[in-house]
Chains A and B, each alone.
Chain A
């Protein structure tokens, strides 16, 4: 039986994100300064450090100092993240439109797969959108049916840590803190490169281009 500290360390060193949805106990453990310090010391031995993102809602391990080897890893990772941004964003918008609540997904939002599926199947525009999203290499679905495409997308998102399924028998997924991390990435890019994405969207909405 591993101690809590050991479990947290293992998750962090396996490249996992710790948030209050994916594992509340670990999250609380990392929130306490004293225990977080213990983990930090242990991570430091391996040239890693505990990093918070999205207003302290997510913890993950990052490199302490960067040499060429680490940079190579980060570059590869960065390419992966940016390549995955569009499919993820499109998926987020699809879910938002299908639920009809006009609420963007956030940490802790529940998605009922069955309801989502029936809404999408009833709306040709959403169905088309789903087909497009599922064909992205990130999801890599070859299925022709909405059922297969959705299952594949949700399976992949579960593997990537964006969603958890609290009850294996029920098709209900909960968004994790990694989603907040995703928002932060987009916001970061937006701010750093001065893309003014929000303003673009606003202007487009006023012209009625979007939606």
Chain B
């Protein structure tokens, strides 16, 4: 039997998965467009109890249970229904308890177990539906009925929610725990289920509901205030439209001026500057510094006298650096002319140059490196190196030799 149920259930779920597009279309649009889908598929869905036709002329719609499942899964705010049919559920509980007791008395334990499972399911379903109702109410309160635009609609939604709270409360009144306790008798499992579980949840739901009710009343008050304000503003505009020459009575002339129109004149003016206050010296100096000079009396400002302009040749500025560069160039030319290998220091001594040795060698190397690659190929350069006495790996250039190749 269990295999059968499993198979049938899987078949149903598979059908739902296969035709999820049709189901979602029906969920979103409210009805299925029958022209788009094959009649066979639609018949199948109907026989599975997913879609139904309220009457012959209307479109195919989603069954309430499927819709409820989707609303729950999607936490859709359209889910505003509160189902709490406690009365019938309680009657069912009593019946099942009787079945269970009878089975126990006749020692048909397998049967009793199955009744117990049903009873557990039923109880939890009852608790869940109550909690679900409360959850739904809270979620709407938290959104402050944001899914409807106007204040009037919000007020209506609020009233609906209040009605639902009242409904749930009246359903809750149907719980008679003394009767349930009596039904449960001394059976441990029944007591746990019917008295302990139900009672603790009952208390929780009741408490929540009273909070919900308080919050709803508060919201309603706020909405009504908003509504009142809006109407006040609109009424004022309307009143002025109908009576353009209207102006309120002059309340300031009454012997008792109402508080709202008694507003004292501003009497504080900015304080004046005290230049003798030494503490303010720095700030005042800064302010004075920011004042720009303004010449109002233009005529007194001396006009710039005309001057003869002498055009002179700008003085040639020869840098010492140029001299050394010139010498380097001369050295290179000398190498080209003679074609012989000559060390830079020898040239320095030969021509009695006045530059520092190090500078000279540095400039020669620099001059060589600065040559274009093509020209560089004409020269050969060799550095005579010496190891640094202290730091190995460092070399000191003592001289460079240049030749024309």
Contacts and interface: CB of A to CB of B under 8 A. Distances in A.
Sort chain A's interface into a size bin.
Answer: 35 or more
Given A77-B252, A102-B149, A198 B260 contact: no
B234 A204 contact: yes
B236 A15 contact: no
B74 interface: no
Interface of A: 10, 13-15, 46-48, 51, 53, 60-63, 66, 71, 73-75, 77-78, 81-82, 85-86, 89-90, 92-93, 96, 100-104, 106, 181, 183-190, 192-193, 195-202, 204-205, 209-210
A187 B266 CA distance: 25
Interface of B is mostly: helix
Interface stretch (B75-83, B237-245, B296-304): B237-245
A198 B238 CA distance: 10
Contacts of A85: 236
Given A102-B151, A185-B260, A86 B240 contact: yes
Given A71-B252, A192-B249, 14 more contacts: A14-B266, A15-B264, A62-B262, A62-B264, A66-B262, A73-B264, A82-B247, A82-B248, A189-B248, A190-B236, A197-B236, A198-B232, A200-B235, A200-B239
Interface stretch (B63-71, B117-125, B223-231): B223-231
A188 B249 CA distance: 11
A74 B232 contact: no
Contact of A63 (B226, B251, B253, B264): B264
Interface in B340-387: none
Contacts of A197: 231-232, 235-236, 238-239
B259 interface: yes
27 contacts: A10-B268, A47-B264, A51-B259, A61-B263, A62-B262, A63-B262, A71-B253, A74-B262, A75-B252, A75-B253, A78-B250, A78-B251, A82-B248, A85-B236, A86-B236, A89-B233, A92-B233, A101-B149, A102-B150, A104-B226, A183-B229, A185-B261, A190-B235, A190-B236, A201-B231, A201-B234, A204-B238
Interface string B210-229: 00000000000000001011
Given A90-B237, A104-B233, A197-B236, A81 B261 contact: yes
Contact of A13 (B259, B260, B262, B268): B268
Contact of B149 (A66, A93, A100, A199): A100
B229 A89 contact: no
A93 B262 contact: no
A196 B228 CA distance: 12
A133 B331 CA distance: 88
Interface of A is mostly: helix
Nearest to A78: B252
Give the 6 A-B CB pairs with smallest separation, nearest first. Answer: A197-B235, A15-B266, A201-B235, A74-B252, A62-B262, A201-B231
Contacts of B251: 78, 192
A85 B237 CA distance: 10
Given A13-B268, A46-B267, A93 B234 contact: yes
Contacts of A86: 236-237, 240
Contact of A74 (B151, B231, B261, B266): B261
A187 B226 CA distance: 13
Given A74-B257, A77-B252, A202 B231 contact: yes
Contacts of A90: 237
